[in-house]
C-alpha cells in the first residue's frame, strides 16, 4: 500500500512506521491518523510480524494534532465527528507490542501518541510536552490521564497547566521514557529491541502486555488474579514446555507461537 503521510517498512519480524510530514513537523492530521491505522491493521494481521516500532523524523516525532486543521472547527464539528477518538486509539488496541522511538519534539498529540505505545525509547534530543494550554485548549488524546500515570500528579499538572517541555533526561528520570539512546542508534536499537520481543513466544508476549496494561485498569487484587490466570494459561502452550526445557538443556528455545 502507498502512503502520503507515513512510511512503512518491515525489518525481519518488526514492522516500522515512520511518521512522515516533515514540512509540518509531523502534525497529526486526519489523513495521517487514518494511514497509521491502516498500517497497524496490516501489521496486526501479518503473522510474520511480532512487534512494531513507531518513529518520526529528526526534528520531531510529532508536534501535535494539526492546529491548522483544528482551528476552524466548532464544538458541533468535533463532537459529531468524535474528533480524536476516531482512529487515534488504534495504537492502544494493538495486541502486538508497539514501541515509540522518539527524536525531537513529541508535543501535544505527539506526546500522547508516544504514551499510547507500550514503552518509549528516546534520543538525547527528545522533548516532551503538553502545550495545548498555550493555544486555548487542553490535551484531548489522553494527556491528562496518561501523563499522571507515567510521571505522577505534580509533574503532569505542571506540564499540562504551563505547557513546559521536558527534555529527555528529565523524561527518563520521571519514568516517561524507558531509556535514552544516542541519536544515531535510536531506530536501529528500537528495531533490535522489537526484534528480540518478536523472537519470543508470541502468546507469552501478548499475555505479558495484556497483563501489564491491566495494572492501569483495575485494583491490585483483581489485577494479580488476572495475571495469575494468564500465567496459568501459558502452561497450556507448547512454548512454555519448550522454553523451560531449553533452559534446562542449556540451548536456545525454538518457539512455535503455539
As annotated, the active-site residues are 65, 109, 112, 132
Q: Among 135, 161, 212, 244, which residue interacts with ligand CAA (rule: CB under 6 A)?
A: 135
CB 206 within 8 A of CB 95: yes
Q: Is 141 in the site for ligand CAA (CB under 6 A)?
A: yes
Instruction: Answer for the pair 121, 177: CB distance below 8 angstroms, yes or no.
Output: yes
Q: What three-state secondary structure class fits 46?
A: coil
Report the distance separating Cα 144 and Cα 149, nearest Å. 9
Pick the binder of ligand CAA from 112, 118, 123, 172 (CB under 6 A).
112
CB of 40 or CB of 63, closer to ligand CAA: 63
**Please, which residues bridge with residue 15 across strands?**
10, 52
Residue closer to ligand CAA by CB (options 89, 242) is 89
Site for ligand CAA in 35-74 (CB under 6 A): 63-68
Instruction: Compute the distance between CA of residue 15 and CA of residue 194 in angstroms, rounded to an integer.
Output: 9
101 binds ligand CAA (CB under 6 A): no
Cβ of residue 194: shortest distance to ligand CAA, in angstroms?
Answer: 26
Q: How many CA atoms lie within 13 A of 107 on its CB side?
A: 21
Specify whether the CB–CB gap between 238 and 256 falls below 8 A. yes
Q: Report the nearest approach of ligand CAA to the CB of residue 132 (Å).
A: 5
In terms of CB distance, is 105 or 128 closer to ligand CAA? 105
**CA 153 from chain center: how many Å?**
21
74 beta partners: none
Beginning with the edge strand found earlier in the chain, give each strand of the sheet holding 60-62 in spatial order: 60-62, 105-107, 127-129, 166-167
Question: Does 194 contact ligand CAA by CB under 6 A?
Answer: no
By CB under 6 A, residue 115 contacts ligand CAA = no
Instruction: Tell me which of 50, 131, 203, 253 binds ligand CAA, using CB under 6 A.
Output: 131
Secondary structure class of 165 (helix, strand, coil): coil
* Nearest 10 degrees: Cα torsion 128, 134, 140, 142: 30
The region of 107-115, 176-184, 186-194, 241-249 touching ligand CAA under the rule CB under 6 A is 107-115
Site for ligand CAA in 173-192 (CB under 6 A): none
Q: Which cell numbers in the block locate residue 256? A: 512455535
Q: Indicate whether 27 belongs to the interface with ligand CAA (CB under 6 A).
A: yes
Q: Which of 35, 118, 132, 239 binds ligand CAA (CB under 6 A)?
A: 132
Residue closer to ligand CAA, measured from CB, 82 or 249: 82
Residues contributing to the site for ligand CAA (CB under 6 A):
24-25, 27, 63-68, 84, 105, 107-109, 112, 131-132, 135, 139-141, 143
Amino acid at each position: 500500500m502507498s502512503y502520503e503521510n507515513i512510511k512503512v517498512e518491515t525489518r525481519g519480524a518488526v514492522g516500522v512506521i515512520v511518521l512522515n510530514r516533515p514540512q509540518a513537523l509531523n502534525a497529526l492530521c486526519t489523513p495521517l491518523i487514518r494511514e497509521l491505522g491502516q498500517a497497524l491493521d496490516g501489521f496486526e494481521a501479518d503473522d510474520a510480524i511480532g512487534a512494531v516500532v513507531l518513529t518520526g523524523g529528526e526534528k520531531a516525532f510529532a508536534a501535535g494534532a494539526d492546529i491548522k486543521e483544528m482551528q476552524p472547527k466548532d464544538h458541533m464539528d468535533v463532537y459529531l465527528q468524535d474528533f480524536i477518538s476516531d482512529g487515534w486509539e488504534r495504537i492502544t488496541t494493538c495486541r502486538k507490542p508497539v514501541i515509540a522511538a522518539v527524536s525531537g519534539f513529541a508535543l501535544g498529540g505527539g506526546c500522547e501518541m508516544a504514551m499510547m505505545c507500550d514503552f518509549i525509547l528516546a534520543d538525547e534530543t527528545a522533548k516532551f510536552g503538553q502545550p495545548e494550554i498555550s493555544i486555548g485548549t487542553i490535551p484531548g488524546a489522553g494527556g491528562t490521564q496518561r501523563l499522571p500515570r507515567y510521571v505522577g500528579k505534580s509533574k503532569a499538572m505542571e506540564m499540562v497547566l504551563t505547557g513546559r517541555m521536558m527534555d529527555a533526561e528529565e523524561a527518563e528520570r520521571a519514568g516517561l521514557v524507558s531509556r535514552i539512546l544516542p541519536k544515531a542508534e535510536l531506530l536501529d536499537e528500537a528495531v533490535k529491541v522489537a526484534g528480540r520481543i518478536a523472537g519470543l513466544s508470541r502468546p507469552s508476549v501478548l499475555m505479558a502486555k495484556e497483563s501489564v496494561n491491566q495494572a492501569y485498569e483495575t485494583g491490585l487484587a483483581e489485577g494479580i488474579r488476572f495475571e495469575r490466570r494468564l500465567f496459568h494459561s501459558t502452561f497450556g502452550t507448547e512454548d512454555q514446555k519448550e522454553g523451560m526445557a531449553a533452559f534446562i538443556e542449556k540451548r536456545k528455545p525454538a518457539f512455535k507461537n503455539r
